[in-house]
Amino acid sequence: MPTTLPAAELSAAPTATLAVDLAKATETQAALSTQLSKAACLDEDGQIHIHQVDSSYLDYGLEFRVYTPPCYTQSAQAYPVLYLVHGQTYNDDQWDRLGADEAASSLIAAGEVAPFIIVMPYDRSSNQPSQDKFGEAVIEELLPWVDAHYRTLAERHYRAVGGLSRGASWAIHFGLTQPQLFSAVGGHSPPVFQEDAPQVRGWLDEIPANQLPRFWLDIGERDQRAILNSAIWFEDILTQRSIPHEWYLFAGDHSEAYWSSHVELYLRWYAKDW
């Protein structure tokens, strides 16, 4: 005998189906709108934000720039962070002038790297680490501030540090003394700090194998002899210990023309595991 649904169920079924269809249509439309919004904002450049905050270590305070990638304001996601330190006699605008922000935005928009934040701090000193509290300010104040005020992935895997010239000295210093904080260390035309040199081997030996950062070192073949020798010396130590690293001796000298010509290459390397 045919089964007949009660009138209540007959009247409810179309309504329930319509509600489901409307919900699916709404979800589809929302997803489409999100995709269109993301596509539109990817055509926009990232943004540079300039900050100055009080510091317990630096009389002049912490001064730094933060690059946020395209679509940062339109999204709710968290991002990896790359810390880039400038060279001696320059300031926190150097990496900005070299085109780090434009290169990052272009790579991100093309889908060639995951979006990430860049932090560019200002070190006014030219002293060794023991006479320059910039190091303490970065580790104890800047990193926590950035993680508290920007949507970051506050984990070692998603944090890298690099620098050029004196900034490369800092990057190596941070990577060897704070390996629990940085998963990648980039030294571009890198002289090792003079007072760090006697400790480099010991620092490397103390880092567990699974906590060693990725290392990148590059320098121009016509760089200053003392800086070139320091970079070669550090690379040789990494080689002697069979520590994986990338080493490049490019054409060029110790100049902004050299660094700007390799910015995109640097950023691809920093972001490759993100």
Long-range contacts of 9-17 (CB under 8 A, 24+ apart): none
Least confident of 22-31, 50-59, 145-154, 187-196: 22-31
Token readout for 12 is 């409810």
* Tens digits of residue pLDDT in 214-271: 999 999 999 999 999 999 999 999 999 999 999 999 999 999 999 999 999 999 999 9
Give dist(CA 119, CA 206) in Å, integer: 28
Q: What is the per-residue pLDDT for 23?
A: 53
**Distance in angstroms between the alpha carbons of the first and the last residue of the chain:** 63
Band the pLDDT of 44: cuts 50, 70, 90. Answer: confident
Q: Which residues, listed in sequence order, are joined to residue 83 by a DSSP beta bridge?
A: 119, 161
pLDDT of 32 over the 50 cut: no
pLDDT in tens, 157-190: 999 999 999 999 999 999 999 999 999 999 999 9
Cross-strand partners of 214: 184
In the prediction, which pLDDT does 16 show?
52
Q: Is the pLDDT of residue 64 over 80?
A: yes
In the predicted structure, residue 11 carries a pLDDT above the cut 50: no
What percent of the chain stands above pLDDT 70?
85
Helix H or strand E encompassing 135: helix 134-137
